[in-house]
Amino acid sequence: MNQLFRLPKPVLLARGPYQRCLAANFSAEAKPKPPTAIVLMNMGGPSTSKEVGFFLGNLFADGDLIPIPFQSVLAPWIARRRTPKIEEQYDQIGGGSPIRYWTERQGKLLESILDKQCPETAPHKSYVAFRYAPPLTQETLEAMKQDGVERAVALTMYPQYSCSTTGSSLNELHKTMDRLGMKDAFSWSIIDRWPTQPQLIETFAQHIERSLAEYSSEERKDVVLLFSAHSLPMSVVNRGDPYPQEVAATVQAVMERLGFSNPYRLIWQSQVGPSAWLGPKTNEVIEGYAKQGKKNLLVVPIAFVSDHIETLFEVDIEYVHLAKENGVNLKRVESLNDDPVFIDGLAKLVKDHLSTGTKVSTQLGLRCPQCTNPKCAHTREYFGKE
């Protein structure tokens, strides 16, 4: 009876060319398609208070962000002096920055949408490359190499371009690939700015409208909207950095969407050191409007796409306390974080980029008129090559 269940000999394939062909075809079909990498670039932040010293050391050593004389000597000294104070600030917001959590979550949500909407470039895999805190650029590149990535999109999480933020991240990306011998490992394209992306504007507008709805009908129209962005040294601004203009473009688009419903100003926060920075400073604006009798101020973090130290401590604790001391009611609109409208906008941004086949924007190829940084020239040459 057992013979009835034996496979006939013709089905037991011989070890000939036909069998080798089938095996080769099966192997080719089974080989997974390499993922399209979406690399989310940002400054980053210490996930725990213990990482503050490392974070500050990297931050003050970056001449693209904070140009100071004798940087290799002064940067470690400044970082050591500031570490205890900054550790206390992170302790007040829960012991660390949530920026890694939010950036990784944004990336995962982006993956899911892109896999559905862009099957031709699927699967998509998100990576985070922070400038000053883990996961640093080297760690990210090594993970991409291990995952078999061939095609990669560098997506800045700074909507408005600055040489101090996106530019610094791209310089670091290029330098690290060169050091690791990975300059030919991936085919890159860059999304380097998106200050007026429609869903970005819509998300900001909706968050402002929700916050304004919390005021009484008598107060609402007089609430002053304070669009606050991270400031820049005037030496960087005067060099020709496009950041102030691009931040202003975002503010203008948001106010147009709101129908210019409220009075507003663009202001600047997070200055460091004694040199001149772009103003007016957020703290001075609060004090100035208090003297003018303005009672309700609503802060809109217009250059940030997730919560971190600048929103959770600087605005929510320092500026709120300052406002109370001056008899002003200061509130902040909710950060973008994982808002579905914002995430859909990110997906559309990447989808449109992938479909057009654009490598870099026209603007990325144009250096600041007073730029003397050779790293910027090398970076643009590398990413812009055909």
The reported pLDDT for the residue numbered 242 is 97
What's the pLDDT tens digit per position in 93-123?
999 999 999 999 999 999 999 999 999 999 9
Q: Confidence band (pLDDT; 50, 70, 90) for 385?
A: confident
> What does the pLDDT read at residue 72?
78
Residue 161: its pLDDT value, please? 98
Q: Is 43 a catalytic residue?
A: yes
Q: Choosing from 40, 41, 59, 173, which is the catalytic residue?
A: 59
CATH class, 198-332 region: alpha beta
Active site residue 4: no
> Which whole number is the average pLDDT over 284-299?
98
Would residue 336 show up in a list of annotated catalytic residues for this protein?
A: no
Task: Please give the pLDDT value at position 383.
Answer: 93
Q: What is the pLDDT of residue 30?
A: 56
According to DSSP, residue 9 is labeled: G
Backbone angles phi, psi at 232, to 5 degrees: -130, 150
Comparing CA positions, the residue from 330, 260, 318, 317 lying closest to residue 289 is: 330
What are the distances in angstroms from CA 50 to CA 45, 81, 86, 91, 131?
11, 15, 11, 10, 18
Q: Which of 111, 241, 310, 339 is labelled catalytic?
A: 310
pLDDT value of residue 29 = 54
Spatial distance between the Cα atoms of 95 and 88, rounded to a whole number of angstroms: 9
Whole-number pLDDT of residue 60: 83
Q: Can you point out the beta strands (E) in the chain?
A: 36-42, 124-130, 151-156, 187-191, 224-230, 264-269, 296-301, 329-332
Predicted local distance difference test score (pLDDT) of residue 386 = 65
The answer to whether residue 132 is catalytic is yes
pLDDT given for residue 74 in this prediction: 82
What is the pLDDT, as a whole number, of residue 273? 72
In the annotation, is 51 catalytic?
no
List the domain boundaries for the chain: 36-195+341-384, 198-332
The verdict on whether 200 is a catalytic residue reads no
> Does the annotation mark 230 as catalytic?
yes
To the query of whether residue 180 is one of the catalytic residues in this protein, the response is: no
Percent of the chain with pLDDT over 70: 91
Pairing of strands 296-301, 264-269: unpaired
Summarize pLDDT for 334-358 with one digit per residue, the tens. Answer: 999 999 999 999 999 999 999 999 8
- Single out the catalytic residue among 230, 239, 308, 380: 230
- What pLDDT does 226 receive? 98
pLDDT surpasses 70 at 280: yes
What CATH architecture applies to the domain 36-195+341-384?
Answer: 3-Layer(aba) Sandwich (3.40)
| pLDDT band, very low/low/confident/very high, at 16 (cuts 50, 70, 90) | very low
Encode pLDDT of 23-68 as tens digits. Answer: 444 444 557 889 999 999 999 999 998 999 988 888 888 876 677 7
Catalytic residue among 40, 41, 56, 65: 65
Does the fold of domain 198-332 match that of domain 36-195+341-384? yes
Identify which has the larger pLDDT, 158 or 82.
Answer: 158
Query: What number is the average pLDDT over the span 58-85?
Result: 81
Q: Which of 314, 339, 349, 353 is the catalytic position?
A: 314
SS3 28: helix
Mean pLDDT of 78-88: 89
pLDDT at residue number 275: 84
Is-catalytic flag, 307?
A: yes
